[in-house]
Amino acid sequence: MKNLIFLLLMMTISMASGQNATIHVIPQPVSLQQLNGYYVLTGQTTIGYNRPEARNVAEMLASRIMIPTGFQPVVQQGSTGAIQLNLESLPEPGIGMEGYVLESSSKGIVIKANEAAGLFYGIQTLLQLLPEKIESRVAVDHTWIVPAVKITDYPRFGWRGLMLDVSRHFFTKEEVKKYIDEMVKFKYNTFHWHLTDDNGWRIEIKSLPRLTEVGAWRVPRMGYFNQREAPKPGEPATYGGFYTHEDIREIVKYASERFVTIVPEIDVPGHSMAALAAYPELSCTKDPDTRVNPGSNFAEWHGDGTFTMFVDNTLNPSDEKVYEFLDKVFTEVAELFPGEYIHAGGDECYKGFWEKDKDCQALMKKLKVTDVEKLQGYFMERVEKILSDKGKKLIGWDEILEGGISPGASVMSWRGMEQGIEAAHLGHDVVMTPTAFTYLDYTQGDPTIDPPIYATLRMEKCYGFDPLPEGVDPRYILGGQGNLWTEQLPTYRSLEYMTYPRAWALSEVFWTPAEAKNWEMFIPRVENQFGRSDIAGTAYSRAIYDAIVSTFRKDGKLMLDLRSEIPGLDIHYTLNGTMPDDHSARYVQAVEVPDGPVTLRVITYREGKPIGHLITLDRNMLEQRAR
């Protein structure tokens, strides 16, 4: 009986693995050579590390393995671990500080790197080499096979970031740590934490207690952002929250252990309504009725990028008390965050109230400037000096270029690539994060399926992003970042849903050599990750399976154009009021939309089974999409 059980186990392993095992790693390694054989993880598997600096990584690997396998791998210093983590005494050429070499065979697994960060990224790859049940949150009975491979891997860019906005909606300390846990699986190393905005001030400043006593709370509202009811007189502000110094120290330590640098953002001089609710005297209007905004409309956008504010949300650049205030804020922020950068915002600063303010006009006269934009340049120079005195570097959104900034300031290019190119040509370090490729709050699929917001950004376009434009010195491109604004994201599950799978695509953009990227080869790895996410309980969007519906006009007729992001899907549709299935018309080429009040219904199939959402569009909707 024992021999029969052993034989069946070996047959199972043989069928499930060996040189024919399909390997799905995100982001794609620089070099991956698949070899014959495999290693089987068992209860006797040990984890070794050769130097004390690697102990933390070894223990994190053990904790990740322990829960789904039920094993309790021994972690020990030395060179005899079945899984061996080695820091090189002489630097391994070519892989830098974050690269690694991973070799697995029937004898065991060795990961070597120049720094502990490289070992950490190596174990993320190792976990993806294991069966998908490694993501289980409970112990499962499974055969834990690692295919034999040799991988040499290192990142294309040093800045591989995700930004999380916690102003529009507050997310708990544990939720922030969970978000960091998920992003490091895909080798992100920078967490941009948008801590302040018009809708909430989320960081405790002990010297300015009203920032959290007042600025961290707004009146509760639901509904579409910018369409919510404004606060009523006397209405209690009960929705919100903030992070104490102790919370932040805990999160910073947690991130650091996972080789993530946190870049905190204090958004000034605009986007400051939460701060002004607490200290209204810091604005030009000094309105004592200023409230933290709950998502009500307080500006008119003119369609050309300009806007008019109805409510003053901007700090007064002519008031010395503003700089005293900022010095207090940045003193405490600098003490809490050990990283090189502090993000000071600088975006969407409305200057209409400055133009009408006599003190601002006097300051312009003193500075001998006639353009009010120069006041923002003056303001940001003062902020940069405050940060520099605390040993920090300023990074800001690309509007900081308009008022003039010092050569030492870095730029986060969000409105497009052009601003980043300009900044790089001027000698500034740049993080490329243009809306068209990296704004993860944008709708992922058809706006009739996902909750609508400003624009649509499909995963295929994310994957096509290149942060390094032609003709730009690569020394000035630090890397790239995906940004998640949370106007429409009130829950942690909604954060995950909007982040993934597009952040998987961006991780490959930021890590993998540009020439190694391949969209069609990326899709199977995404679908494998869907299965892993299901087991882990991580939310994600399946919009890549949905039809993409567009229309155009030809000879006065409305024509229907259908396609899908994933190659090989069958698209079935109806225009006759019936529900489509795999017996309905299959889309082959552009179709004329009949006259009259027709309704399109379209759904995708794979191998005879429905796989995408049903999309329903009436004639008016189709007309509006005509390009």
Same domain, 446 and 420: yes
Mean confidence (pLDDT) of the chain: 95
CB 383 within 8 A of CB 326: yes
pLDDT for res 15: 40
Q: Is residue 177 part of a domain?
A: yes
Tokens matching residue 281: 């005297």
Which residues of 229-379 form beta strands (DSSP E)?
239-240, 261-268, 299-301, 307-309, 341-345
Q: How large is the average pLDDT for residues 383-391?
A: 97
Q: Is residue 422 part of a domain?
A: yes
Tokens matching residue 112: 């070597």
Residue 1 reports pLDDT greater than 80: no
Beta bridge partners of 616: 601
pLDDT for res 406: 82
Residues 6+ apart with CB under 8 A from 507: 26, 27, 160, 186, 187, 188
Over residues 306-351, the pLDDT tens digits come to 899 999 999 999 999 999 999 999 999 999 999 999 999 999 999 9
Over residues 562-611, the pLDDT tens digits come to 999 999 999 999 999 999 999 999 999 999 999 999 999 999 999 999 99
Given the structure tokens 């974050």, which residue do they identify? 98
Q: Is residue 3 part of a domain?
A: no
pLDDT for res 220: 97
Same domain, 287 and 395: yes
Banded pLDDT at 304 (limits 50, 70, 90)? confident
Same domain, 530 and 494: yes
pLDDT for res 76: 97
Tokens matching residue 63: 């904790």
Which residues of 184-340 form beta strands (DSSP E)?
190-194, 196-197, 200-201, 217-218, 239-240, 261-268, 299-301, 307-309
Q: Any idea what the CATH number is for the domain that residue 286 is in?
A: 3.20.20.80
Same domain, 524 and 593: no
Q: Which of 485, 507, 534 is the last residue of a domain?
A: 534
Q: Is residue 292 part of a domain?
A: yes
Active-site residue identified among 24, 192, 271, 572? 271
Same domain, 202 and 252: yes
Same domain, 144 and 164: no
CB 277 within 8 A of CB 215: yes
Q: Which of 107, 137, 153 is the last residue of a domain?
A: 153
Distances (CA, A) of 137 to 65, 75, 131, 580: 10, 21, 14, 38
Active-site residue identified among 103, 165, 197, 446? 197
Tokens matching residue 220: 């509760």
Over residues 412-451, the pLDDT tens digits come to 999 999 999 999 999 999 999 999 999 999 999 999 998 8
Q: Is residue 328 part of a domain?
A: yes
319 or 301, greater pLDDT = 319
Same domain, 327 and 249: yes
Active-site residue identified among 287, 348, 466, 487? 348
Tokens matching residue 435: 């809306």
Q: Is residue 9 part of a domain?
A: no
Q: Is residue 165 part of a domain?
A: yes
Q: Is 515 a catalytic residue?
A: no
Centre a 10 Å sphere on the Cβ of residue 310 and count the other Cβ atoms it contains.
12
Q: Which of 98, 133, 153 is the last residue of a domain?
A: 153
What's at 296, amino acid-wise?
S
CB 376 within 8 A of CB 405: no
Over residues 17-62, the pLDDT tens digits come to 444 578 999 999 999 999 999 999 999 999 999 999 999 999 999 9
Q: How large is the average pLDDT for residues 252-260?
A: 98
Same domain, 96 and 219: no
> Rounded to the nearest 10 degrees, how much is the dihedral formed by the CA atoms of 73, 74, 78, 83?
-10
What's at 53, amino acid-wise?
E
Same domain, 501 and 590: no
Q: Is 348 a catalytic residue?
A: yes
The conformation of residue 46, written as its DSSP 8-state character, comes to E
Q: How many domains does the chain have?
A: 3
Same domain, 311 and 386: yes
pLDDT for res 20: 54
Q: Any idea what the CATH number is for the domain that residue 111 is in?
A: 3.30.379.10
Residue 395 reports pLDDT greater than 80: yes
Q: Is 175 a catalytic residue?
A: no
Nearest to 466 by CA among 425, 499, 438, 428: 438
pLDDT for res 9: 42
Centre a 10 Å sphere on the Cβ of residue 335 and count the other Cβ atoms it contains.
12
The conformation of residue 79, written as its DSSP 8-state character, comes to S
Tokens matching residue 181: 């846990």
User: The domain containing residue 612 runs over which residues?
Assistant: 546-624
Q: Any idea what the CATH number is for the domain that residue 575 is in?
A: 2.60.40
Same domain, 343 and 430: yes
Residue 369 reports pLDDT greater than 60: yes
Tokens matching residue 58: 């070894």
pLDDT for res 133: 98
Q: Is residue 567 part of a domain?
A: yes
CB 551 within 8 A of CB 623: yes
pLDDT for res 7: 39
Same domain, 396 and 307: yes
